[in-house]
Every structure is written in structure tokens, then in C-alpha cells.
Structure 1
């Protein structure tokens, strides 16, 4: 049985195990307490940098495909239309938004989703319904799992790095190249998402944010 087959057969175990859930509550709660004041400062900075709300809201799919409203610090201009995907040099991104995305500070509000149990610290990308409907059939199993604030694929495969500048066919490229590649990376973790494996991914995330090489797993 391949890793992907084992992961599909474990679809009923999409909820994090008790040890991982305790880690979610501890890290998520501590993170919210520590980031409270900095988050308020960043929200004010977003409001001053460009017109619009400080928080960006979007429907994403959670565990077993259940939708929830995801919150992030707004990094794009209000009212700017375009793809659900963000590419290199995306003109919709504000001046401050570029910094927030590079440092992943725009994702700080998602600690709230981790505490609530809508997300977990380590898991697959929380996908939009529109893109999820177009996933290749062999990749749709990953949508059953609780999405993560970070994950092995999110650390190693960023959309903007692979897709480059926005052009015709960007969405098709994401669905045919990035989604299968992400799913293959996630499969190894989701086949046996132990506490040790979770901590290793968190350590890789810290290395990535510090600009250090992420070791192959």
C-alpha cells in the first residue's frame, strides 16, 4: 500500500489526535496572547496604508470539506478583482501587504481558527471552494483533512515561486502542477501525523521564516 493509499484509508481520522489538539490549544492560545498588541498595531498599519478593512475574510474549506470564514490581515487593495491565486508581482498587493506576505504576518489571525478547531497548526492548505471543485480527482482526498496554519507543502512549495507572474493559464497550472505536487508532499505527513512529525514541520517553518535552508524529509 502506497503512502497515498494509506492516507486515503485514514480519511475517518482527519481530526488531529489528542496530543496534537493539545499542542494546537497551547501554541494557538499563547500565540494569540503574545501577538495581541502587535496584531492591533499591524491592523492599524493596514488601515493607514490603504483604504479598506484591516482584516480580509474569505470562505475556505475545513475538515471534511466544511466551509468556514477565514481571517487574514488584508494584503490586497479593497475591491481589486482577480484570481483566487497570488502570483509574483501581483498588482493587487499593497506596499505593506508585500511585507506581510513575505513574513507570513498576514496569517497571525489564523491562530484564532487553530484555537477554535477549524484549523490545526500543521496540515494541508485551506482551499477556496472554487478551486477545490476543480481539484484533480486523485487529489481530492486531501480536502477531507483539517487544514493547517503551516504544513510541509506550504513550507516547500509556494504558489508565487512556482507560478511566476500572472498570465493566462495560471489557474490551470496551479491545478495540474502545484496541487498534485503539494498533495504528494502532504501525503507523507498525513499518513502518520504524529506529534514528533508535527514538531518537525513547525521547526522547518521557523527555518523557512528565518531564511534558512529547509532540510529534505
Structure 2
């Protein structure tokens, strides 16, 4: 299902992909259109995740993003707001590294912190969307309001994402995946209903 949906999706939205690529080249010159980063996939295997670049090339920021950061360009902010920066991830789905629904793939530093039962989430393919992604769709805004965003992420958000992803692992089904995809499109999320 993931392969077919990704293939159809890429065939349907290629004009959008082309338009976004052109805008990035015009509005954010001097860097690549596609941002590539090593992420931890199923069973802890590293893979290269693809996204449209939304940040300036010369930055040395952390692995978490905060709304309003200077490293996020004005165009990048719009791409992130409408999740257009995620569209190249369809390629990762097409080649079997990701799924439409699953935990967001972590950078190695975070995934390495998983211990005991928490490591069970690595049994899942990472997803473009998922319950934790939906619950924290405004994560960058939440972090921007914190005195220490990194500490808040590490002590509040990340543990809750692990909890939600473990719950998804227990309840995973095709019907639940369809519900989460619909919630992604419509922009709503209610943890109590899944």
C-alpha cells in the first residue's frame, strides 16, 4: 500500500515538487534544494531522509527546530507551515525506508537514548505522519515559548512522543493508519479516539 500510494502521490504532485524546487532556487540561492540527513529507521538501521531545504546553508543549530529561528528562511517557514518540506519523503516511502504512518525518524543522538521497552518503537518503519507528529504538529511554536527549549524537548516532548509511539505499536492497524492519514489531511487529532 505504501509503495502504491507513494508512486501515485509522486505522479500526481510532481508539478508542486517542481514549483517548490524552483522557489527554493530563487528565494534561497547558494544551497541545495533538497536537504539530506541521516536518520534512524526500522530496526535501528540508518537511512538518508529527504526534505525540501527550509534553512539557510551556513547555520550550526541544534537538531530541534524552534519557530522564529533566524536559520529558518521566510520561504522555509511557509514550507514548514504547510508541511510542503516533507514531500520529498515520498521517495523514502517509495523505496521502502519509510511508511506513510509511523514514528518520525530520529537523528542518531536521540534514537541512541532509547532503552528497554522504548526501543520497541524501532520495530516500526518511521512515518511521514503519525500520532505523535499530529499531537505535536505545532512543536516549533511550543518550543519557542519555553525558557530552555532543548531541556523541555528532552524532558517533556520526547518522552511523550515515545509513549504515544509505543501505544501506536500496540494498536497498529490499517484502519488506524487511514484514520491518522485523514486526521493529517484535515488537521485534527484526538488521542482518545484511536
What TM-score results when the alignment is normalised by the length of structure 2? 0.91
1:69 to 48, 53, 64: 48
Bigger drift between 154-163 and 99-108 goes to: 154-163
RMSD: 1.7
| 1:39 alignment counterpart | 17
Cα pair 1:136 1:175 within 8 Å, conserved: no
Change (3 A) 1:145 1:84: same
Gaps of 5+ in 1: 1-22
**What secondary structure sits across from 2:35 in the alignment?**
strand
SS at match of 2:49: strand
Query: Does residue 156 in structure 1 map to residue 135 in structure 2?
Result: yes
Task: Give the ranges of 4+ consecutive aligned residues of structure 1 lying more than 6 Å apart after TM superposition.
Answer: none
Question: Within 5 A, what are the aligned runs for 1:75-114?
Answer: 75-114=54-93
How far did residue 54 of structure 1 move?
Answer: 0.6
For 1:39 and 1:180, locate their aligned partners in 2 and report how far apart those are by CA, in whole Å.
34
Report deviation, 1:172: 2.7
**1:173, distance to aligned residue in structure 2 (A):** 2.0
- Contact 1:89/1:165 (8 A) holds in 2: no
1:88-145 deviations in whole A, cap 9, x for unaligned? 2111111110010000000000001111110001000110012222346553332332
Answering whether residue 185 of structure 2 is matched by residue 214 of structure 1, we say no
* Structure 1 residues 160-189: Cα deviation after superposition (integer angstroms, max 9, x where no partner): 13322576x432321211111112222222
Say if 2:123 is the partner of 1:144: yes
Alignment-derived partner of residue 112 in structure 2? 133
CA contact (8 A) 1:123 1:146 kept: yes
Change (3 A) 1:42 1:166: farther
Please report the TM-score for the alignment, with normalisation by the length of structure 1: 0.81
Distance (Å, rounded) in 1 between the aligned partners of 2:116 and 2:151: 15
Structure 2 counterpart of 1:177, from 139, 156, 172: 156
* Structure 1 residues 135 and 164: CA distance shift in structure 2, 3 A: farther
Conserved in 1, the CA contact under 8 Å of 2:36 and 2:48? yes
The structure, 1 or 2, with the larger RCO (C-alpha pairs under 8 Å, 6+ apart) is 1
Show the counterpart of 1:12: none
Structure 2 gaps of 5+ residues are none
